[in-house]
Amino acid sequence: MKKSLLIMAFGLSLLMMASCATSRSSRAIRKAERMMEKQERQARKDYKEAKEAHYEHQAPKTKKMIKEDRKRARELNRHLRRY
Quick one: CA dihedral 8, 9, 12, 13, positive or negative? negative
pLDDT-based confidence at residue 62 (cuts at 50, 70, 90): very high
Q: pTM for the full model?
A: 0.54
pLDDT at res. 24: 66
pLDDT at res. 1: 67
Expressed as residue numbers, the domain containing 38 is 2-81
Cα–Cα distance, 46 to 40 (Å, whole number):
10
Q: How many domains in the chain?
A: 1
Cα–Cα distance, 44 to 50 (Å, whole number):
10
Which tens digit of pLDDT belongs to each residue from 2-48? 777 778 777 777 777 776 655 667 888 999 999 999 999 999 999 99
Residue 22 exposure: Cα atoms within 13 Å on the Cβ side: 5
Mean pLDDT (whole number) for 38-63: 95
